[in-house]
Structure 1
Amino acid sequence: MRYTLEVEKYGICSNGTEASATTSGFNRALLEASEAGICEIDIPRGIYLIDGVNTESSTKPEENAGIVVPSNMTLNLHPRAEFRVAPNGSFGYSCFYIGEVENVTIKGGKIRGERYQHDFTGHGDLEKKKTHEWGYGINVHGAKNVEILGVDIADFTGDCIMLNAKGMLNVAWTTYRPARNVTIHNCRLDGSRRNNISITGAEDVVIDGNTITNAGIHDGCRPMFGIDIEGYGEGDIDYEEPRNVKITENTFTGNVAQSVCNFSGYEVVISGNNSDNSISYGYGTDTVIANNTLVRKDKKYTAITSLGVSAGFNGNNAAITGNTIKGFSSGIDVRGADVTVSGNTITELGAGGIALATFEARNVLFSNNNVHHTAGKHCCARNSSDITFENNKLNGSDITAIEIIDSTNVIAESNKIKRSKHGAVITGSSAKITDNDVDLTEYPGAVSYAIAFDKGSDVFIKGNRIPEPSNMAINGESAVGRTVYIKDNDITNAKCLIPIYVIGGKNHEISGNNITFNRTSSGGYGIQTKNTDGALVKENVVYSVSSFVLHNPIKTAESVNSRVIGNKIAGSLALNKTDTETNNIPI
């Protein structure tokens, strides 16, 4: 049964006056309609001033406040029906309250808060409430089967929409009743002081096709997110849980801190959105961030961010895939554990930013990402473990394509590095650099090393292709106790003096490398060691393809106890008297 509300009958003022009478009139009308079996009410055009404060509760004035919507009710708000919360000084209030009911729909109309008329000076005896961040447009509190469709909501001291639970989990004296099966579709949510949507205790939520803008502007209240998914917990105990939240096809602009943060939710999908600020999986578990378009013009902020692993969990189990990122300071910053980053396109970042990064992370895979027109670092693993960079296309860094710092078991495999100043740099880490194409030939300035490592690193460098290096192709400094393997790399048409140069350390292996020179003058050394002990230099091929000759294809004269075995070389060896030399073949 459908009914058009008779505002005069219930003492409802439609001219923006008489908040108390108007609020009481709406609540009486909805209650009578519900009792009469009316399930759909059309609310005519008008300006309705609402008393959103429940003065009977000193600690929860936002509960059972404002217009209290009963079960099995659809409210069709006229496009020119506007609900305004009356200015007040309460730390909490609600314009519409949907609490522990079911089957409720609110469609159309406008709902406005009073953040710019609010009195922030009072908070009674509750010091922790002094921020006044609990003023809501629609407060869904332990209700289920709720739809909010095509509503224009703005300017609340807290949030445009709050989805929260009645009671708490893991507490014996209360029953936990989360908001369930909530859909927010095609709404305009703007300019609330804290967040535009907060999800603290809710399950099976769909947020689709909305325009979500300007959360936290004008001296807002943290966190100032477009959407904040954040249940309350202490340590590894959850008292609220946001679960199964889908955020799809929304537009986010102007939200102060982030567009979306899954601070502590479970099974969250953030897909197909357009955003001008960060999206984060926070401490969330089982998060998918997919096929979003993130674009800025000022090269500020990190496009996709994170915080770490939630207490009591082994990892985040996050997937970041198919996103397009442009014009931020940095691209994707991974923290925590068990994360896959694949198929993303990242471009036009700030010169000091990083496209793909980890910090204090473990078990992270970066694969098939495309980074271009980005002058800063392209990949960086820092203070992390079990990190893999695989099959990424990295084009145009003014610093380095891959940087590995203070990390363990990092793999850089089958990446295509092009037009960068530096290929890969390993510092204080254990790393495998294998089967990469490191082509620095088109870099417009002076290039650095294709692959470099320091004396605090263990490195396995194998099967890389480095064409026409004008500086050292592989350069490193090592120390006793560190491991260096340089094997089967293909270094062609070298123009530098020394393609492979290793200083210090003991028992290194340099084997199976193919090195050709194409210099415009004579000189150079194909492989040179200095201050090493016991290096094995085996089965390398070193020669010049031009008419200019090398000083020596292999030089170990400044090292001791080298074993120079089975190499194919053009020219004479420069050895130390302590060296062993056998089966080397002139070509």
Structure 2
Amino acid sequence: MMRYTLEVEKYGICSDGTEAAVTTEGFNQALKDASKAGVCEIDIPRGDYLVDGVNKNSANKPEERAGIIVPSNMTLNLHPEAVFHVEPNSSFGYTCFYIGEVENVAIKGGKIRGERYQHDFTGHGDLEKRKTHEWGYGINVHGAKNVLIEGVDIADCTGDCIMVNAQGMLNVPWTTYRPARNITIERCKLDGARRNNISVTGGEDVKIDKNVITNAGINDGCKPMFGIDIEGYGEGDIDYEEPRNVKITNNTFKGNVLQSVCNFSGYEVVISGNYSDNSISYGFGTDTTISNNTFVRTDKKYTAITSLGVSAGFSGNNISITGNTIKGFSSGIDVRGADVSVSGNTISGLSADGTALATFEAKNVKFSDNIVNHCPGKLCSARNSKDITFEGNDLHDSDITAIEIADSINVKAKSNDIKRSKQGVIVTRSSAKLIDNDIDLTDYSGAVGYAISFDKGSDVDIKYSRIPKPANMAIYGESAEGRTVRIKNNDITDAKCLIPIYVVGGKNPEISGNDITFNRKASGGYGIQTKNTDGALVKENVVHSVSSFALYSPIKTSESINSRVIGNKISGTLSLNQTDTEYQNIPI
């Protein structure tokens, strides 16, 4: 491979930061000559180079075929003290280095500086949208193939430090769609772009690795102000530009104004091993993995992992969120859309009004084996959602509740370990199955609420829960005719409260197979009590006191009607209504 050191004097290139037009023309002529001569690698010496980044022959796309235009089969080695400044201008778009419809290109080292703080924002041409001036780029990869951008320091562009986009449009018959393919951006320093530090709109097989990506959108930036924005263009369920197979790994994100990374509409995206002080979002993305990232803040603001919903034309997102560590944010993981797995994440130190693990308007989501500690807000929340599972999570230290289920259908909370929280599970206007949960509120520092509660708008199936030493009601609920209540095979031990299981209202609730022991320091209490219910089945429960203090009654249904009290093992006298059916109860 032939290698050549650029002769700046030969081509009239000014290295003192003057004569943008002459310098840019000189660079382009030098690259053309080198390419024609078979030179594949060019060393660019130290210098301060002023670049004319505006294609004045294109009124609609001044950022295309502009600036220094890199040919195919070319590596540019920029000296560490080679600085390329974009000449201040009033154009809504510009490019410093243009890599367009070529292949086998590398840019290594050096510095690129946009002119956002010297830019004239008054000119915008004929289109109203151009007022934003958000198309000024440090490097523009436009429909190119096999591109490496390594170790380049880029800052202060009016648009993006690096743009990866397609030539032409997909699903439009009169154009040829050429996405940028096999693009690698590594070990770069990308700072302070006015819009995004990196945008990927029409790229396939894009690798973004080991970069430091900071301060996108600072100082009155232009939305979206993301460290990396993966965002194709489409209308409804028709894509005109697609980001596909984008891997974002081992990067450091700090100070980006709105989000570190947003996969707004990309496909097959991996976001792994990064350090972030702001949100990472899968947006409307499809087939996305967010794994093993470290999220750290000190001010308890923002949500670490966020989302928007399902992309038009798709039934789900197919998202995996696993192995992330989140500390010091307002909230942890907020899931929207459908078909999402959230597992093995560790979350701590959130704000008092935040939520660690949440869904909103989501479907088919499973949260499993996550660890949540020292989060005083809600630990899990399913709101306006369907087919949600919380399974095997360690949920600790909430001043509100460990699990909230509201306005949702078919929510399952199974085998969760809940400790040191004010309340265990709250179900409101929902259908929920609560199975095999350990709910230990004994070490909570203040007055505790209920281990499990539900309202009259809910259907609940509560089974195999273990609730030790409840100081307040272990299971309390209100029901109504047409609602289903099943409270079966729960183990409530050493109760300090007056009523471990209390159901108010409704028809035909079932309370069976529960094992309730009291360990009070005074007489009184009812093991199971119903009020204003009709047709309750109270069957095969065990209720007794392990202390010397007697209960008022192990089972009280006197304020209900038509209860069936059958086969219970009890200490003390039943308190029944005259309409009740009672048989085969065994004193112990």
Q: State the TM-score bracket (shorter-chain normalisation).
A: over 0.9
Q: What pairs up with 1:364-383 in 2 under 5 angstroms?
A: 364-383=365-384
Q: Report the TM-score, using the length of structure 1 for normalisation.
A: 1.00
Which position in structure 2 is the counterpart of 1:541? 542
Which position in structure 2 is the counterpart of 1:388? 389
Q: Secondary structure of 1:53's partner?
A: coil
Which position in structure 1 is the counterpart of 2:261? 260
Which position in structure 2 is the counterpart of 1:129? 130
Which position in structure 1 is the counterpart of 2:309? 308
> What are the Cα deviations for residues 70-120 of structure 1, in whole angstroms up to 9, with x where unaligned?
000000000000000000000000000000000000000000000000000
State the alpha-carbon separation in 2 of the partners of residues 382 and 167 from structure 1.
42
Residue 51 of structure 1: CA displacement?
A: 0.2
Q: What pairs up with 1:303-452 in 2 under 5 angstroms?
A: 303-452=304-453
The one-letter code of the counterpart of 1:2 is R
Residue 56 of structure 1: CA displacement?
A: 0.2
Q: Secondary structure of 1:9's partner?
A: coil
State the alpha-carbon separation in 2 of the partners of residues 160 and 123 from structure 1.
21
What fraction of aligned residue pairs are identical, expressed as a percent?
Answer: 80
The one-letter code of the counterpart of 2:290 is I
The one-letter code of the counterpart of 2:177 is Y
The one-letter code of the counterpart of 2:471 is S
Which position in structure 1 is the counterpart of 2:515? 514
- 1:180 and 2:178 correspond: no
State the alpha-carbon separation in 2 of the partners of residues 460 and 492 from structure 1.
20
> What are the Cα deviations for residues 192-220 of structure 1, in whole angstroms up to 9, with x where unaligned?
00000000000000000000000000000
Q: What pairs up with 1:203-222 in 2 under 5 angstroms?
A: 203-222=204-223
In structure 2, stretches of 5+ residues that fail to align are none
State the alpha-carbon separation in 1 of the partners of residues 298 and 246 from structure 2.
30
Residue 127 of structure 1: CA displacement?
A: 1.0
Q: What pairs up with 1:68-79 in 2 under 5 angstroms?
A: 68-79=69-80
State the alpha-carbon separation in 1 of the partners of residues 124 and 304 from structure 2.
37
State the alpha-carbon separation in 2 of the partners of residues 450 and 286 from structure 1.
37
Moved over 6 A (4+): none
Which position in structure 1 is the counterpart of 2:90? 89
Q: Secondary structure of 1:96's partner?
A: strand
The one-letter code of the counterpart of 1:169 is L
Residue 486 of structure 1: CA displacement?
A: 0.1
Residue 135 of structure 1: CA displacement?
A: 0.1
Residue 572 of structure 1: CA displacement?
A: 0.2
The one-letter code of the counterpart of 1:148 is I
Q: What pairs up with 1:61-72 in 2 under 5 angstroms?
A: 61-72=62-73
The one-letter code of the counterpart of 1:352 is D
Residue 126 of structure 1: CA displacement?
A: 1.4
State the alpha-carbon separation in 2 of the partners of residues 194 and 125 from structure 1.
22
Which position in structure 1 is the counterpart of 2:281? 280
Aligned Cα root-mean-square deviation (Å)? 0.2
State the alpha-carbon separation in 1 of the partners of residues 264 and 150 from structure 2.
25
> What are the Cα deviations for residues 337-364 of structure 1, in whole angstroms up to 9, with x where unaligned?
0000000000000000000000000000
Q: Secondary structure of 2:575's partner?
A: coil
Residue 456 of structure 1: CA displacement?
A: 0.1
Which position in structure 2 is the counterpart of 1:19? 20
Which position in structure 1 is the counterpart of 2:169? 168
Which position in structure 2 is the counterpart of 1:469? 470
The one-letter code of the counterpart of 1:406 is D
The one-letter code of the counterpart of 1:520 is K
In structure 1, stretches of 5+ residues that fail to align are none
Which position in structure 2 is the counterpart of 1:242? 243
Q: Secondary structure of 1:304's partner?
A: strand
Which position in structure 1 is the counterpart of 2:501? 500
Residue 221 of structure 1: CA displacement?
A: 0.2
State the alpha-carbon separation in 2 of the partners of residues 485 and 62 from structure 1.
66
Q: Secondary structure of 2:25's partner?
A: helix
> What are the Cα deviations for residues 526-578 of structure 1, in whole angstroms up to 9, with x where unaligned?
00000000000000000000000000000000000000000000000000000
Residue 128 of structure 1: CA displacement?
A: 1.2
State the alpha-carbon separation in 2 of the partners of residues 412 and 127 from structure 1.
52
State the alpha-carbon separation in 2 of the partners of residues 136 and 391 from structure 1.
47
The one-letter code of the counterpart of 1:416 is D
Residue 422 of structure 1: CA displacement?
A: 0.3
> What are the Cα deviations for residues 472-516 of structure 1, in whole angstroms up to 9, with x where unaligned?
000000000000000000000000000000000001100000000
State the alpha-carbon separation in 2 of the partners of residues 58 and 248 from structure 1.
37
The one-letter code of the counterpart of 1:425 is I
The one-letter code of the counterpart of 2:287 is D
Q: Secondary structure of 1:97's partner?
A: strand
Residue 124 of structure 1: CA displacement?
A: 1.3
> What are the Cα deviations for residues 122-157 of structure 1, in whole angstroms up to 9, with x where unaligned?
111111111000000000000000000000000000
> What are the Cα deviations for residues 146-190 of structure 1, in whole angstroms up to 9, with x where unaligned?
000000000000000000000000001000000000000000000
State the alpha-carbon separation in 2 of the partners of residues 334 and 178 from structure 1.
30
Q: Report the TM-score, using the length of structure 2 for normalisation.
A: 1.00
- 1:576 and 2:543 correspond: no
State the alpha-carbon separation in 1 of the partners of residues 229 and 129 from structure 2.
20
Q: Secondary structure of 1:195's partner?
A: coil
Q: Secondary structure of 1:425's partner?
A: strand
State the alpha-carbon separation in 1 of the partners of residues 541 and 571 from structure 2.
11
The one-letter code of the counterpart of 1:356 is L
> What are the Cα deviations for residues 5-27 of structure 1, in whole angstroms up to 9, with x where unaligned?
00000000000000000000000
The one-letter code of the counterpart of 1:452 is S
State the alpha-carbon separation in 2 of the partners of residues 138 and 180 from structure 1.
15
Q: Secondary structure of 1:358's partner?
A: strand
State the alpha-carbon separation in 2 of the partners of residues 330 and 160 from structure 1.
30
State the alpha-carbon separation in 2 of the partners of residues 178 and 35 from structure 1.
26
- 1:251 and 2:252 correspond: yes
Q: Secondary structure of 2:10's partner?
A: helix
State the alpha-carbon separation in 1 of the partners of residues 73 and 115 from structure 2.
29
Which position in structure 2 is the counterpart of 1:152? 153
> What are the Cα deviations for residues 357-398 of structure 1, in whole angstroms up to 9, with x where unaligned?
000000000000000011000000000000000000001000
Residue 418 of structure 1: CA displacement?
A: 0.2
State the alpha-carbon separation in 1 of the partners of residues 396 and 533 from structure 2.
35
Q: Secondary structure of 2:507's partner?
A: coil
State the alpha-carbon separation in 2 of the partners of residues 123 and 158 from structure 1.
14
